Amino acid sequence: MERRRFVGAVVASLVAVPMGAEAQQAGRVYRLGILRATAPPSPDQETGPTLAKALRELGWVDGQNLKVETRYAQGKLDRLPLLARELVQIRVDVIVAVGSAAIRAARDATKTIPVVMYGSFDPVAAGFVASLARPGGNITGIVVGPGVSLAGKRLELLKEAVPRAAAIAFLAPDDLSFRPQVPEAQKAAAALGIKLFTVEVQSGDYANAFATIAGERAAALLVGATPFFMRDRKQIIELAAKHRLPAIYEWPEQVEDGGLMSYGSSQSALAQRVAAYVDRILKGAKPGDLPVEQPSKFELVINLRTAKALGLTIPPSLLGRADRVIE
């Protein structure tokens, strides 16, 4: 089935050519800064269209009319402020910041350079924007929510896939900005009558985290929504298979790589939306005038090959609601 796309009141305004497009200077090379808390992905972790490809489709080619400056914190969040200041010092025209910690660092580093954000949090409560409709200031972008990460919905779907699961583990990063996802998941667990216990991955030690999960006799695994787990998806998927844990993830790409289920948007859809913001801003639009976009449609993907390997039969009612089934 064709992938669902982001739908929102602001979509038409984002794809239209802005009145200020003449502000784009012919022959000029613009600088785009990208700020991420994670380490750079290895070549085998790159799947699907990237931001670079999405920008090329809009006419922005790295090495021609665009120079991309990427800064990775390598999982060390305390490095983000320094990296954000580096991007400001080299005078990038736009900063793309992924995750609340990176966005906060970019916000603190500049009040003038436009920042395009993405993450799972409430940007108003975090102090990044004045409102979703009229952000004001120099920050706009995409948020899942606000205030929800879909952890509760993913837990419901996982319980439907594994109806006998009485205890489910919630894999979490060692990241303060992730913490709001925990009460959301716990609330859903209480409503479903599930024992949910959170296991943090300390210093990238996934083996130890999964050993803890096995010790608690979890019947299934809810993988938290974080860029860290997208980056390390193959390691997580392999450990889930080793421990025979049915797991639900954030991104379809995680299921394409062997995960059981996912519920969320897609990396390609995200790249296209982020590129649309960058395009508008480089052509003269002000970030404070561009409403913050929220995805309103999400994709349920199920990998039947993985289900078979786990000896798991997916209920027909759940399969019937899937947007895509990998066989």
Q: Is 294 part of any domain? A: no
Min mean pLDDT across 119-123, 238-242, 319-323 is at: 119-123
Give the pLDDT confidence of 147-186 residue by residue, as tens digits: 556 889 999 999 999 999 999 999 999 877 777 788 889 9
Segment 290-313 shows an average pLDDT of 93
Give the pLDDT confidence of 107-118 residue by residue, as tens digits: 999 999 999 998
| Co-location of 21 and 64 in the same domain | yes
Show the beta-strand stretches assigned E in 144-193.
167-173
Task: Provide, rounded to the nearest whole percent, the portion of the chain with pLDDT above 70.
Answer: 87
Min mean pLDDT across 24-28, 274-278, 320-324 is at: 24-28
Show the beta-strand stretches assigned E in the chain.
30-36, 66-72, 94-98, 115-119, 139-143, 167-173, 195-201, 220-223, 247-249, 261-264, 299-303, 324-326
| Co-location of 165 and 120 in the same domain | no
What is the structure's pLDDT at 145?
60
pLDDT at residue 42 tops 50: yes
Residue (of 312, 301, 304, 308) closest to 1 by Cα position: 301
Give the pLDDT confidence of 5-20 residue by residue, as tens digits: 433 434 444 444 443 4
CA distance 148 to 59: 34
pLDDT at residue 131 tops 90: yes
| Co-location of 102 and 239 in the same domain | no
CATH number, domain of 89, equals 3.40.50.2300
| Co-location of 224 and 281 in the same domain | no
Determine whether 314 is exposed, middle or buried from the number of CB atoms within 10 Å of its CB (0-12, 13-18, 19+). buried
Q: How far is CA 297 from the centre of its chain?
A: 15
pLDDT grade for 26, boundaries at 50, 70 and 90: low
**Two tokens at 270?**
């995200």
Segment 276-292 shows an average pLDDT of 97
Which residue range forms the structural domain that includes residue 31? 11-144+266-289
What is the structure's pLDDT at 286?
97
Give the pLDDT confidence of 224-239 residue by residue, as tens digits: 988 889 889 999 999 9
Using the structure block, give the residue that is written with the tokens 């859903």.
188
What is the structure's pLDDT at 122?
81
Segment 101-125 shows an average pLDDT of 92
Q: Is 281 part of any domain? A: yes
pLDDT at residue 47 tops 90: no
What is the structure's pLDDT at 43?
55
CA distance 27 to 101: 35
CA distance 206 to 171: 10
Q: Is 138 part of any domain? A: yes
Query: How many domains is the chain built from?
Result: 2
pLDDT at residue 56 tops 60: yes
| Co-location of 138 and 179 in the same domain | no
| Co-location of 257 and 270 in the same domain | no
| Co-location of 172 and 281 in the same domain | no
Segment 296-308 shows an average pLDDT of 92
Residue 306: which residues within 8 A CB-CB, separation 6 or more? 241, 255, 258, 259, 260
Average pLDDT along the chain = 87
| Co-location of 213 and 273 in the same domain | no
**Two tokens at 78?**
């305390």
pLDDT grade for 261, boundaries at 50, 70 and 90: very high
Q: Is 1 part of any domain? A: no
CA dihedral 100, 104, 105, 110 (to 10 degrees): 140
Determine whether 111 is exposed, middle or buried from the number of CB atoms within 10 Å of its CB (0-12, 13-18, 19+). exposed
What is the structure's pLDDT at 24?
60
CA distance 217 to 215: 5
**Two tokens at 212?**
């803890």
Give the pLDDT confidence of 194-235 residue by residue, as tens digits: 999 999 999 889 999 999 999 999 999 999 988 889 889 999
Helix 151-161 and helix 181-192, axial crossing angle in degrees, nearest 10: 40
